[in-house]
């Protein structure tokens, strides 16, 4: 089966009341206790971010495409008040950066 | 739902042409066709340089995001593979399309000066986050300039990188 690079990873956020969010951002960020990125590909790792001494600031995905409109990389990003985590959809690796670091890939 | 963004080339009309799985060719004609017609001629003697018609590109949202898309950027790898005597300028054209022509691009800067660390911001004018289908962000205007020192023949392809953030 061929996967769309933008859907290789699903994400879910768990709030302190136990509810699970899988879409949008209409929830209280201060209530987040876990943010997980779950791969559909068995060879790619699952990434779990457990919020203890830091807080969620923003969650988004960053797409990179050429002028042929083909997405060559799709980064999931979780920004906390202490650091950022970027997860690559092309190989499942993760990169931890300072809070304000903007990671960009050149195709 | 995960959004689907595309690059459209706005030649001849502001309607634009979907460039999915295609490319962009600089030429002495105002169309988006990839062919060998109307090549840019190499000037001779004291003629200075020859400029292509402007190329205008804009992001198009084909499938709306679940929340929004913003932070639109465009950049290169910083190294031109076009060779001696060939340059490409780029500028943010705002959100209002204007007919393409061959005069020097207003506000144009070397496209290879836009890199991942210093990208061209393409949601500076049309700054609203994209939430529905249709065009979004600013128009990128490009123009190739060929000097007397350029060599003949087709050039090696170069890639522009477009990025956007999706919630």
pLDDT of residue B14: 87
Tens digit of each residue's pLDDT (9 = 90 or more) over A38-91 = 999 999 999 999 999 999 999 999 999 998 899 999 999 999 999 999 999 999
Q: Which residues of A touch B24 (CB under 8 A)?
A: 67
Cβ B8 vs Cβ A69: under 8 Å: no
* Burial annotation A36-52 (CB, 10 A radius, 16+ → b, else e): bbebeeeebeebebebe
User: Of A64, A69, A107, which is closest to B20 when you measure between CB atoms?
Assistant: A69
> What residues does A70 pair with on adjacent strands?
none
| Between A4 and B111, residue with greater pLDDT | B111
Q: Using the predicted structure, report yes or no on whether residue A28 has a pLDDT greater than 90.
A: yes
Residues 6+ apart with CB under 8 A from A16: A31, A32, A33
Q: How confident is the model at residue B55 (pLDDT cuts 50, 70, 90)?
A: very high
Cβ B160 vs Cβ A66: under 8 Å: yes
Quick one: average pLDDT of B17-35?
92
Q: Which residues of A touch B141 (CB under 8 A)?
A: none
| Between B82 and B1, residue with greater pLDDT | B82
Percent of chain B with pLDDT over 90: 89
3-class secondary-structure state, position B112: helix
Q: Do B5 and A63 touch (CB under 8 A)?
A: yes
pLDDT of residue B83: 93
pLDDT of residue B48: 85
Cβ B29 vs Cβ B102: under 8 Å: no
pLDDT of residue A2: 63
Return phi, psi of residue A31, to 5°. Answer: -90, 0
pLDDT of residue A56: 96
Name which of A16, A23, A9, A2 is nearest A86 in CA terms.
A9
Rounded to the nearest angstrom, the minimum Cα separation between B116 and chain A is 6
Quick one: average pLDDT of B81-91?
96
* Mean confidence (pLDDT) of chain B: 94
pLDDT of residue A24: 85
Q: Do B116 and A60 touch (CB under 8 A)?
A: no
User: Of A59, A77, A107, which is closest to B159 when you measure between CB atoms?
Assistant: A107
Chain B residues with a Cβ under 8 Å from any Cβ in chain A: 2, 5-7, 18-24, 57, 66-67, 71, 73, 75-78, 115-117, 119, 159-167
Question: What is the rounded CA–CA span in Å between residue B88 and residue A68?
Answer: 18
Q: Which residue of A has its CA nearest to B62?
A: A69
Quick one: average pLDDT of A22-47?
94
pLDDT of residue B13: 85
Name which of A38, A13, A34 is nearest A23 in CA terms.
A13
Rounded to the nearest angstrom, the minimum Cα separation between B85 and chain A is 24
Q: Which residues of B touch A59 (CB under 8 A)?
A: 167
Q: Give Cα B74 to chain centroid, integer Å.
A: 9
pLDDT of residue A1: 57
Q: Using the predicted structure, report yes or no on whether residue B123 has a pLDDT greater than 80.
A: yes
Q: Which residues of A touch B6 (CB under 8 A)?
A: 69
Question: What is the rounded CA–CA span in Å between residue B70 and residue A99?
Answer: 19
Rounded to the nearest angstrom, the minimum Cα separation between B65 and chain A is 9
Question: What is the rounded CA–CA span in Å between residue B35 and residue B56?
Answer: 18
Residues 6+ apart with CB under 8 A from B12: B30, B31, B32, B100
Q: Give Cα B133 to chain centroid, integer Å.
A: 21
3-class secondary-structure state, position B111: helix
Name which of A100, A67, A107 is nearest A83 in CA terms.
A100
Residue A60: count of CB within 10 angstroms of its CB: 20
| Between A64 and B13, residue with greater pLDDT | A64
């Amino acid at each position: 089966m061929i996967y769309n690079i933008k859907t290789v990873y699903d994400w879910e956020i768990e709030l302190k009341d136990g509810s699970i969010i899988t879409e949008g951002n209409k929830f209280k960020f201060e209530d987040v206790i876990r943010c997980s990125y779950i791969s559909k590909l068995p060879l790619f790792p699952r990434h779990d971010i457990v919020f203890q001494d830091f807080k969620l600031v923003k969650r988004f995905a960053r797409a990179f495409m050429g002028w042929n409109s083909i997405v060559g990389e799709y980064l999931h990003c979780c920004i906390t008040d202490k650091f950022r985590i970027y997860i690559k959809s092309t190989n499942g690796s993760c990169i931890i950066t300072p809070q304000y670091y903007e990671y960009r890939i050149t195709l | 739902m995960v959004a689907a963004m595309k690059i459209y080339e706005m030649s001849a009309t502001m309607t634009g042409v979907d460039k999915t799985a295609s490319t962009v060719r600089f030429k002495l004609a105002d169309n988006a066709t990839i062919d060998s017609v109307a090549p840019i001629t190499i000037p001779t003697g004291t003629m200075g340089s020859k400029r292509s018609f402007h190329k205008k590109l804009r992001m198009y949202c084909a499938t709306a995001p679940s929340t929004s898309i913003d932070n639109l950027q465009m950049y290169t790898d910083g190294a031109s593979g076009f060779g001696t005597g060939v340059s490409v300028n780029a500028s943010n054209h705002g959100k209002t399309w204007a007919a393409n022509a061959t005069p020097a691009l207003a506000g144009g800067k070397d496209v290879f000066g836009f890199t991942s660390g210093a990208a061209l911001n393409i949601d500076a004018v049309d700054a609203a986050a994209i939430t529905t289908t249709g065009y979004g962000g600013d128009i990128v205007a490009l123009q190739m300039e060929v000097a007397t020192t350029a060599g003949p023949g087709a050039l090696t392809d170069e890639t522009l990188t477009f990025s956007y953030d999706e919630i």
